[in-house]
Structure 1
């Protein structure tokens, strides 16, 4: 479906109704915010799981393509704060008073900034593969700027945790890895470098962390090479109303590697307090 933000059409994938995938005004809404150089398809496996949850019947599940990503053809933003402003405009366009925000990686920073500056618009935060600060290695940044295909390979390999073969080699790419690599390859020129730079620049001081009192649920992985378990634990400790759940056997791409586990966590988090 399409929304309109800043006079530009926005592509939004939907789910959550047994008889319709269309947006239902006035119903509780959950918005899924994808990561750097991703698009709404990063959430496909998870949304399929969530759509079948009876606890979420009547809940709007919205996964927009951020500007400059997927089928949203407006120009990508250069700052996390600008992506957050854009997302609040999306809520305004849909006449959504407030929503639960689910963010993965860069999307988690966007969700956090929404809660920081627009607390009345955010019911809950659900952060997957999150860290703040979120530094990007020089090797990855340089590849994103000059050799994007190499950067896509790095991101795919680092985001999926796999067990090596007995001889020390890695097995062939899984279907999930192939899907993620194809998604990155679809991104527009320069978008990956742009998004990674935005992640690196975004910082909050301790007072800003303390002011984010939105109920927050963080999902991390012991094997995440992009946003480490240590970084996720630190983030949880700095937020005054946060709960951390740790997965094992998966990497940064938790939604692809463990959609059932993530969906169970998501359902519990979305319905908490109801």
Structure 2
């Protein structure tokens, strides 16, 4: 789309009130207010529930019979966010794909550092397999945004380690997948990333790691053995600090014989897909997500 649309989005991020490296309690309020201030379409149905004793938010479209289930993990550097803060993007994907979203309210750091979020993700996934039939995961895909994309990848690795059935696919939006912060884009993209700074990201990484090693593959999946994972679609914008997380995660998947598609959209920031209504690149990216999920997830689980 137009340069003006991209510049408007860039300005929106740069002038936003969120201080990513600030006090967690205060910034959670800011983050929530930013991402829930716009009403959802009237036909979006939100239903709080529990899955494997983990709180979740079921997101569906009124009148639509789901053709599959998307187990969704929100972003926020493992410190901010909730299932509700991701409901805008999640409901858009639910509408486009005709699938139900189950968004997981995993525990947040620093109160609950690693592996709390992964434990919650695994409990929810185990319970979802039980609901759909452990031998029939063809109706499930995992989806994550930012930290949630890193968590979704870690979940897949852990599930494989435990010999659990794999879902049909994974969609990873701008994955936060290297908490060692060693990607070159952490420095080369500082001038063009309108949302984050390396120092702020480092603060949040310490919150999640606690006393654990940041290079632990279940914290930083760019260092994981990904062999045996399902087909992955990884999307990122070229104007983000986390670009190399996406690129290296895709390279790791390819090296481990995982079917993987990497899509990098030039000139757009982190999670640009959430602004598909105003940004043509976001709409185009979600059309690719829809095509990928329709090809991967089997309606009816057959």
The equivalent residue for 2:288 is 265
Instruction: Specify the alignment match of 2:150 in structure 1.
Output: 109
Q: Distance in 1 between matches of 2:251 and 2:287?
A: 23
Separation of aligned partners in 1, 2:93 and 2:70: 11
Secondary structure class of the residue paired with 1:158: coil
Q: Residue 101 of structure 1: CA displacement?
A: 0.4
Q: Measure the CA separation in 1 of the matches of 2:209 and 2:285.
A: 24
Q: 1:262 to 1:223 in 2, by over 3 A?
A: same
8 Å Cα contact 2:234-2:262 kept in structure 1: yes
Cα RMSD of the aligned pairs, angstroms, is 3.6
In the TM superposition, what are the counterparts of 1:139-178 in structure 2 within 5 Å? 157-158=195-196
Larger RCO (CA within 8 A; separation ≥ 6): 1
Contact 1:32 1:62 in 2 (8 A): yes
Cα distance in 1 for partners of 2:92, 2:52 equals 32
Residue of 125, 148, 160 corresponding to 1:88: 125
Partner of 2:141: 100
> 1: CA distance between counterparts of 2:128 and 2:74?
16
Aligned-residue offset at 1:40: 1.8
Q: Does 1:203 align with 2:214?
A: no
Q: Map 1:1-274; keep pairs closer than 5 Å.
A: 1-5=47-51, 7=53, 10-15=55-60, 17-19=61-63, 27-35=67-75, 36=78, 37-53=80-96, 56-57=97-98, 59-68=99-108, 76=112, 78-79=114-115, 81-92=118-129, 94-95=131-132, 97=134, 98=137, 99-119=140-160, 120-136=165-181, 157-158=195-196, 194-195=207-208, 200-203=214-217, 208-225=224-241, 227-228=242-243, 230-239=244-253, 240=257, 241-258=259-276, 259-273=282-296
How far the C-alpha of 1:237 sits from its partner, in A, is 1.4
The answer to whether the Cα contact below 8 Å between 2:52 and 2:124 also exists between their aligned partners in 1 is no
Flag structure 2 segments of 5+ consecutive residues without an equivalent. 1-46, 183-192, 198-202, 277-281
Q: Go from structure 1 to structure 2 and tell me whether the alpha carbon gap of 1:207 and 1:222 turns closer, same or farther (over 3 Å shift).
A: closer
User: 2: distance between equivalents of 1:52 and 1:126?
Assistant: 16
CA distance in 2: counterparts of 1:96 and 1:250, whole angstroms: 40
Q: Quick check: 2:104–2:124 contact (8 Å CA) kept in 1?
A: no
- Residue 96 of structure 1 and its aligned partner are, at CA, apart by 6.0
How many residues were matched structurally?
211
Shift of 1:243: 0.9
3-state DSSP class of the match of 1:19? Answer: coil
My pick for the range that moved more, 209-218 or 75-84, is 75-84
Provide closer, same or farther for how the CA distance between residues 49 and 130 of structure 1 changes in structure 2, counting only shifts above 3 A.
same
Q: TM-score, normalised by structure 2?
A: 0.57
Q: Structure 1 residues 222, 43: closer, same or farther in 2, change over 3 A?
A: same
TM-score normalised to the size of structure 1?
0.62
Q: 1:136-174 CA distances to partner (integer Å, 9 max, x unpaired)?
A: 59xxxxxxxxxxxxxxxxx98329xxxxxxxxxxxxxxx
> In the aligned structure 2, how far is the partner of 1:51 from the partner of 1:81?
24
Change (3 A) 1:210 1:61: closer
Q: Residues 39 and 201 of structure 1: is their aligned pair in 2 closer, same or farther, counting only changes over 3 Å?
A: farther
